Amino acid sequence: MGSNQSFPGLTEDLLEDYSSLTYLNKGEILYLMRKFYSIDPDKIDADFHHRFEKEMILKKFHVLQNNPFQDRLFRVFSSKNDDCFSFEDLLDLCSAMSSKCPTDVKASWAFKVFDIDEDSQISTRDISEIVDRLTNGSKSRSYSLDDETKSKIAYVILDEMKLTNTGGIGLSEFKILMSRIPEFNSSFYFSL
């Protein structure tokens, strides 16, 4: 039921391209298109590449609603850096979060998400912000760790990696680190 539904702009050739360029299968892509299309069918009918605002995406894709890195996911995966998603932006996000995405590709996307100040390294500042987000400190200061504790956490992380003198973690170090953490793939993941 509903498997024969067609979507304007999503040709069989394009579906084939999407399945070969992402870590998603055709069924997952069609499922995502069905949800994306349901946001506003008229807009997709008029323009297959229509970009929906963050709030509209969140209404249909509940898995993003409570993510502490929601703003970063929209910043990183929005191809026009406008906090809006086209269908292809959504495919990129879901592909990176797929269990089939290789660790090095997943780590590259994760690095962009965690490099909060976008200076091409994960620094003490970024680690402190990550800790805040994971402990819900950015939303409710009553649960926040103090700055000294966050600095100690960042120092320990950088010291463990022998990067205390460099001031941060670059992309190549981050990829190596993530390849050594078996839980990384299951942590940087969500199911459709």
- Rounded CA-CA distance 163/144 in Å is 26
For 138, the domain range is 103-187
How does pLDDT run along the chain (192 residues), one tens digit per residue? 344 567 888 999 999 999 999 999 999 999 999 999 999 999 999 999 999 999 999 999 999 998 999 999 999 999 999 999 999 999 999 999 999 999 999 999 999 999 999 999 999 999 999 998 888 754 555 567 888 888 888 888 887 776 556 678 999 989 998 998 889 998 898 887
Q: 91 and 108 share a domain?
A: no
Query: Two tokens at 104?
Result: 């090095």
In a domain, 5, yes or no: no
Q: Which two tokens stand for residue 137?
A: 């400190």
CATH, residue 42: 1.10.238.10
pTM over 0.85: yes
